[in-house]
Amino acid sequence: MPEPHTPHSTISSIVRILENKGFVDHKTYGRTHANFFLIRKKDYTKFSLKKLVGNYFEGSMNELVSFLVKENDISLKALSQITNQLHQDK
């Protein structure tokens, strides 16, 4: 990792939290731990997005999209392209 180096105790604490939440696990080899993921990135992304929408947009994906358009994080043209792509994928 680049300077400044994160203290080992900080990394260890974060990994322990993720382990308690069921996101990662480890195997022990002597005094060494090899960590590995228990869930796929796609599953975690879905979980995180649902939590974000629930906490900040009253559980409404429509509210999230409306916010993104209003804040110019996504243009109406891009939104239209996404909608068209979704219709083609059905």
CA distance 62 to 68: 10
The answer to the question of residue 63 being in a domain is: yes
Reduce the DSSP state of residue 25 to 3 states and report it. strand
Counting the structural domains of the chain, the total is 2
Residue ranges making up the domain that contains 27:
8-37
Write out the H or E segment, with its range, that includes residue 29.
strand 24-29
CA distance 69 to 17: 35
The answer to the question of residue 2 being in a domain is: no
What is the full per-residue pLDDT of the chain (90 aa) written as tens digits?
Answer: 678 888 889 989 999 999 999 999 999 999 988 999 999 999 989 999 999 999 999 999 999 988 888 887 888 888 889 888 888 877
CA distance 75 to 5: 39
Reduce the DSSP state of residue 23 to 3 states and report it. coil
Reduce the DSSP state of residue 42 to 3 states and report it. helix
Q: Residue 89: what pLDDT?
A: 78
55 and 84 assigned to the same domain: yes
68 and 47 assigned to the same domain: yes
